[in-house]
Amino acid sequence: MSHPYQAKIYVTLRPSVLDPAGTAVRSGLTHMGYTNVEQVRIGKYIEVSLTAENEDAARQQLDRMCDQLLANPVIENYRFELQALSAIA
Amino acid sequence: MSHPYQAKIYVTLRPSVLDPAGTAVRSGLTHMGYTNVEQVRIGKYIEVSLTAENEDAARQQLDRMCDQLLANPVIENYRFELQALSAIA
């Protein structure tokens, strides 16, 4: 039997990779008067609803989905939090 | 005296707003064999390093920055977590 889960996935650029979009946002904030902002890094936040037999199966599948599609392992890191929806319903 | 803080900002589309990118990713996952994925919603994850007099000042400023630049209040929600960097150094 499969159970519903929700995953919150955070995809971030590796620290060694330049982030031109983040630099542009930081520059924009500085021009707006927020001169105390030192660094901005922009990543992705992805919410995935899925069903799986158990939590381990869901985690394994999410790892594969991140490696294959959701993140670019060459330049990005990812991490995720998994929540069983039935437990909070 | 100002202290260093790091904010983790999550910008998500309001639930009533369609997410074509999320739908495309879900369709891609389905074609890759992940047929148990029910919904995908894509948002932004922004890390901001800044200095502020205290936590309240930092939170007020982050609210303004989100309303003015980082999020579009018409279609997006945001929330953030604030961490004093000196406390974890």
Interchain pair A36, B52: CB under 8 A: yes
Interchain pair A43, B46: CB under 8 A: yes
Please count the other Cβ atoms lying within 10 Å of the Cβ belonging to residue B74: 7
Assess A41–B contact: CB distance below 8 Å, yes or no. yes
**CA angle at residue A17 from B77 to A6, to 5 degrees?**
40
Which residues share a beta bridge with B79?
B10
Q: pLDDT by residue (tens digit) across A45-66?
A: 999 999 999 999 999 999 999 9
Assess A82–B contact: CB distance below 8 Å, yes or no. no
d(CA B71, CA B65): 8
d(CA A57, CA B12): 27
Interchain pair B48, A42: CB under 8 A: no
Cβ neighbours of A28 in B, within 8 Å: 69
Which amino acid, one-letter code, is at A9? Answer: I
Of A11, A47, A51, the CB nearest to B41: A47
Q: pLDDT by residue (tens digit) across A1-48?
A: 789 999 999 999 999 999 999 999 999 999 999 999 999 999 999 999
Assess B62–A contact: CB distance below 8 Å, yes or no. no
Q: What CATH number has the domain spanning B3-88?
A: 3.30.1280.10
Residue ranges of domains in chain A: 3-88
pLDDT score for B1:
78
- Separation of CA B6 from chain center: 13
- Residue located via tokens 């294959």: A68
Cβ neighbours of A65 in B, within 8 Å: 29, 34, 37
Tokens of B41: 């919603």
Cα–Cα distance list, B9 to A33, B28, B54 (Å)? 19, 27, 18
ipTM: 0.89
Q: Are residues A42 and A19 in contact, defined by beta-carbon separation less than 8 angstroms?
A: yes
DSSP-assigned states of every residue in B49-66: EEEESSHHHHHHHHHHHI
